[in-house]
Amino acid sequence: MTRRWLHLHLAAPLMAFGGVTIDHVGPTRDYPSASALTGLFANALGWRHEDTIAHQALQDRMEFAALSALPEGRHAPLVVTDMQNAKLEKNDKGWTTWGQPEGRAGATYDSPHRRRRDYLADHDTHVVLRLTTDDAPTLEHLAKALDRPARPLFLGRKPCLPTRRLFAGWIEADSPHAALKALAAQGLTGRALWPDDGRPYEGALKYDLQDLRNWKSGLHGGTRIVCEGDIA
């Protein structure tokens, strides 16, 4: 059955799609996660961080695939690593996502606070996405919100501002992989990720992906099986 897919074009000098963070190291994936897309739409719609039920319902309804349109001659995304160092004194405080300032704990203030964050540089990603039910918000609501967002939008981390319109039109296809092939028919080819549907795809890798979030707890919320391969 042919379905309608929202086409997103994510492009920026720097962007980050998150990943499994260990200690101070924050990596980036090659493709946006389900939780990242949920957050992007929620920000465009003007939802607040505590609107956990709405976030969870939207994430649970999403079906999507993503394609990295790499420049000719480049076979993998270009990753830039940012080493961040900040010395926090005893009385220094910072704002948090739960609306309360948080101070420094412990008795030692001489050592700097270090973080490592990876970014995709000069990246170009296309996403095809549909919603599995007709509940609000609909695909049309999401498209309008991307063009007139309630708040400024960013791609993964707040410094990563998009350089072009995110809503790129509509695709008609009967599956995520078919939607990717429809992009290829428009000249958009590259490495892609799509949900496993049980069909054999020659040359594609199949693996478990940890990209779901439990929006109530704010922690990892499960895995899904995906396929990764070339779309030409």
Specify the 3-state DSSP secondary structure of 185. Answer: helix
What pLDDT does 96 receive?
Answer: 66
**CATH of region 3-83+118-231:** 3.30.70.2660
Beta carbons within 8 Å of 32's beta carbon, 6+ residues apart = 10, 17, 40, 66, 125, 127, 156
- Per-residue pLDDT for 101 more than 60? yes
What pLDDT does 108 receive?
Answer: 55
Q: pLDDT-based confidence at 35, cuts 50/70/90?
A: very high
Alpha-carbon distance of 40 to 158, in angstroms, equals: 11
Alpha-carbon distance of 92 to 185, in angstroms, equals: 54
Among 202, 225, 190, 214, smallest CA distance to 35 is for 214
- Per-residue pLDDT for 97 more than 70? no
Cα 92 from chain centroid (whole Å) = 31
Q: In the block, which residue shows the tokens 């948080």?
A: 102
Using only C-alpha atoms, what is the Rg of the chain?
19
Among 20, 27, 120, 125, smallest CA distance to 77 is for 120
Q: Cα angle vertex 37, ends 202, 213, to 5°?
A: 90
Q: Per-residue pLDDT tens for 116-167?
A: 889 999 889 999 999 999 999 999 999 999 999 999 999 998 889 999 999 9
Q: Per-residue pLDDT tens for 160-204?
A: 999 999 999 999 999 999 999 999 999 999 999 999 999 999 999
User: What pTM was computed for the model?
Assistant: 0.87
CB-based burial of residue 104 (10 Å sphere; 0-12 exposed, 13-18 middle, 19+ buried)?
middle
Q: pLDDT-based confidence at 106, cuts 50/70/90?
A: low
